[in-house]
Chains A and B, each alone.
Chain A
Amino acid sequence: EDKVVQSPLSLVVHEGDTVTLNCSYEVTNFRSLLWYKQEKKAPTFLFMLTSSGIEKKSGRLSSILDKKELFSILNITATQTGDSAVYLCAVSTGTASKLTFGTGTRLQVTL
């Protein structure tokens, strides 16, 4: 059975801190790993990673994948209160590209 595990489950930081969110996976027929941000509505896409060692970056967010050790990290630098959300990691598998999600990391950024 495909499995995606995220850690920590929740995190409280002060504005300006840097955070690292972790995602490990154990799946068959790996295609890609995706990160989503979920506030009180639809998950919004952040990154898709397919190759090991290549960092993807968007503003203060960055992510990297290690296909040998089967994990990915999502970094957020200089956190802001607007970064408060649940961050979901998902792995796409098989020909249909269905997503298997972790339980998410709930990030709260305080002033």
Chain B
Amino acid sequence: GAGVSQSPRYKVAKRGQDVALRCDPISGHVSLFWYQQALGQGPEFLTYFQNEAQLDKSGLPSDRFFAERPEGSVSTLKIQRTQQEDSAVYLCASSLAVWSGDEQYFGPGTRLTVT
């Protein structure tokens, strides 16, 4: 596709449910990032993949958060036993390569509401 796509665009989960958020990066992009954006705040880094390797997961807020990119393309962010504080927009971004520059292209995000 032409840009980064994410699905679903909106997700409402009851507290305690598990959710899975999908990101389709721009074709051929090596690097993939997940960010969490709370209302009125800037995005905060969660995790980073270079191809299928998860090289940095320092931003994941707890062990309930798990991300994967098994074939180096599509990525899934999974949140287990959701809590109200997980409510946020989850943004995915991709960039062409690690060394060729830092311009990241963002998807539209998934707005997660935990009730």
| Contact surface of A with B, Cβ cutoff 8 Å | 4, 31-32, 34, 36, 41-45, 48, 88, 90, 92, 95-104
Contact = CB atoms under 8 A, between A and B. Distances in A.
Interface string B81-94: 00000000001010
A96 B48 contact: yes
Interface in B46-92: 48, 50, 55-56, 59, 91
Nearest to B104: A99
A42 B40 contact: no
B103 A48 contact: yes
Given A95-B98, A96-B55, A96-B98, A101 B43 contact: yes
Contact of A97 (B40, B98, B109): B98
Contact of B109 (A34, A42, A44, A102): A42
A103 B91 contact: no
Contacts of A31: 102
Nearest to B106: A42
A103 B41 CA distance: 5
Nearest to B45: A98
Contacts of A92: 102
A32 to B, nearest CB: 5
Given A45-B103, A99-B43, 5 more contacts: A32-B101, A42-B109, A45-B105, A96-B55, A101-B44
